[in-house]
Amino acid sequence: MDKSFGIVNDNMKKNRKYKSHNNIGNRISGTSNFFINLLFVFNCILCIAPILLIIVISLTDEKELLVYGYSFFPDKFSVKAYDYVFTAGDTIWRAYGVSILVTLVGTLLSVLVICFYAYPLSRQSFKYKNFFSFFAYFTMIFGGGLVPWYMVYTQLIPIKNTIWIMIVPYLMNAWYMMIMRTFFKTTIPESIIESAKIDGAGEFRTFFVIVLPLCKAGVATIALFCTLGYWNDWWLPLVFITDNKLYNIQYLMYQTLNSIQYLASGSAQFSESSKVLADLPTEGARMAIAVISIGPIIFAYPFFQKYFIKGLTIGAVKG
């Protein structure tokens, strides 16, 4: 019963090679290779084109957008949108800073919490591993609702409106924990731990000096997930942040999309303040913010990719 969430395929364990099996010689024919390549080229275009489109839009002259619509090949380029975004005050830079800070601190802490939780559960000798596995797993399928959850963070531990509220709720994630647990289980033989014990190393020492370095790929995988989770989050600020200095970049995007819509949607008859509408970011600027928000996460990708596939192979797959 100790493999409560995973499956160990006996055959997989015997011989662990990460090489692709078609290196051996049995290759597919040239024609099918061509068509498979074609399929993937098409698919890649499908994946990239919309992203290219918003980049082009962000660089298109505003008037042209309003009159001729969005196009991959506009007649008139303009960097006005970026100009606007960069000079419209420090709001966007501050939001950017918040996002970076939250992502860095959050990822670091989250990886630590998850690894700490996963490690004892991966140990054969740990008696309560099933209980604690279930304790985590249950949170994936059962929840209590928005308002009570909100209450916890406003009354029990009042971190609403601080940078921590964008970090703490995502620190623990049952699914990542399970991946990490499997990773530990398959990568670290109990014998290594035993021998470390005999050498007089404590559990923490063993964990940091022996276990973690061996599990770099797994840690990188989890770190990537966490980075994405923190960077792309707009829900926590929507619920908890009332101080505009703490808005993150996603939430800022959510807002620019929203406010422009709402101003004109039926309720505007109450507004005499329509003058400010002229100052709001228009189409191009909105797309520019989207482009800017994608930036760092794309750059982070190659950095993690090195370990990512390996991490997934062992963590999620070998279960």
Partner 1 sequence: MSKESNITVIKPNVNKGFLYEIKKNWALFVMLVPGVLILIINNYIPMFGIVISFKRYRFHGNFISSIIKSEWIGFKNFEFFFKTPYAFTITRNTILYNLMFIILGLIIPVAFAILLNEITNKRSAKVYQSLMFLPYFLSWIVVSYLAYSLFSIESGFINRGLLSAFGIEPVRWYFEPKYWPFILTFFQLWKYTGYNTVVYLAAISGLDTEYYEAAEIDGASKLQQIRFITIPLLRSVMVIMTLVAVGKIFNADFGLFYNVPRNSGQLYSVTDVIDTYVYRALRNTNNISMAAAAGTYQAIVGCITVFTSNFIVKKIDRDKALF
Partner 2 sequence: MSRTKKIYSVALLIILVLSLTLSACVPVVPGGGTTTTQPDTSGQTGPAVKLTWYLVGNRQEPDTPKVLAEANKYLKDKLNVELELNVFGWGDDYDQKTNTALAAGEPIDIVFTASWAANYNVNATSGYFKELNAYIEKYPAIKDILGEDFLNGSAINGKNYAVPTNKEKVHNWGYLLKKDLVDKYDMDVSKITSIESLEPFLKIIKDNEPEITPVCIATMDAPFQLLDWDRISDDDVPGALYPDNRDSTIINHFLAPESIEHYELMRDWANKGYIHQDAATMQNQSELMKSGTFFAASQSLKPGKDAEVEATTGIEWVQVDVTRPVMSNRETTGALLAIPAASRNPEKAFQLIELLYTDKYFKNLIDYGIEDVHYKKVSDNVISLIDPDNSPYNPGHGWKFGDQFKDYLMDNEDPAKWEKFLEFNDAGLVMNSLGFMFDKTNVETEISSCKNVVQAYYKQLFTGAVEVAPTIEAFKKELVGAGVDELIAEMQRQYDEWRK
Interface positions with partner 2 (CB under 8 A)? 1, 63, 66-67, 88-91, 130-131, 134-135, 138, 146-147, 150-151, 154-156, 158, 238-239, 242-244, 254-255, 258-280, 282
CB 161 within 8 A of CB 240: yes
Picked from partner 2, partner 1, none, the partner binding residue 198 (CB below 5 to 8 A depending on kind) is none
Picked from partner 1, partner 2, none, the partner binding residue 68 (CB below 5 to 8 A depending on kind) is partner 1
Shorter beta-carbon distance to partner 1: residue 140 or 275:
140
In 3-state terms the chain splits into helix, strand, coil percentages (rounded to 5) of 75, 0, 25
Picked from partner 1, partner 2, none, the partner binding residue 250 (CB below 5 to 8 A depending on kind) is partner 1
Q: How far is the CB of 94 from partner 2 (least distance, A)?
A: 10
CA distance linking residue 130 with residue 113, whole number of Å: 18
CA distance linking residue 97 with residue 228, whole number of Å: 16
Burial of 1 (0-12, 13-18, 19+ CB in 10 A): exposed
Picked from partner 2, partner 1, none, the partner binding residue 64 (CB below 5 to 8 A depending on kind) is none
Q: Amino acid letter at 290?
A: A
Q: Scanning the structure block, which residue is given the tokens 């200095």?
A: 245
Residue 60, strand partner residues: 77
Picked from partner 1, partner 2, none, the partner binding residue 282 (CB below 5 to 8 A depending on kind) is partner 2
CB 236 within 8 A of CB 167: no
CB 85 within 8 A of CB 292: yes
Q: How far is the CB of 242 from partner 2 (least distance, A)?
A: 5
**Other CB atoms within 10 Å distance of the CB of residue 44:** 10
Q: How far is the CB of 124 from partner 2 (least distance, A)?
A: 17
How many residues in total does the chain contain?
Answer: 319
Q: How far is the CB of 299 from partner 1 (least distance, A)?
A: 10
Shorter beta-carbon distance to partner 1: residue 41 or 275:
41
Q: How far is the CB of 54 from partner 1 (least distance, A)?
A: 5
Picked from partner 2, partner 1, none, the partner binding residue 316 (CB below 5 to 8 A depending on kind) is partner 1
Q: Scanning the structure block, which residue is given the tokens 């290759």?
A: 27
Q: Give me the helix-helix angle, 216-231 and 91-122, nearest 10°.
A: 140
Shorter beta-carbon distance to partner 2: residue 68 or 72:
68
**Other CB atoms within 10 Å distance of the CB of residue 110:** 24
CA distance linking residue 162 with residue 165, whole number of Å: 6
Q: How far is the CB of 151 from partner 1 (least distance, A)?
A: 5
Q: How far is the CB of 307 from partner 2 (least distance, A)?
A: 34
Shorter beta-carbon distance to partner 1: residue 75 or 272:
75
Shorter beta-carbon distance to partner 2: residue 171 or 238:
238
Shorter beta-carbon distance to partner 2: residue 154 or 313:
154
Shorter beta-carbon distance to partner 2: residue 111 or 178:
178
Q: Amino acid letter at 295?
A: G
Shorter beta-carbon distance to partner 2: residue 30 or 89:
89
Q: How far is the CB of 75 from partner 1 (least distance, A)?
A: 13
Cβ neighbors of 77 (< 8 A, separation 6 or more) are: 59, 60, 61
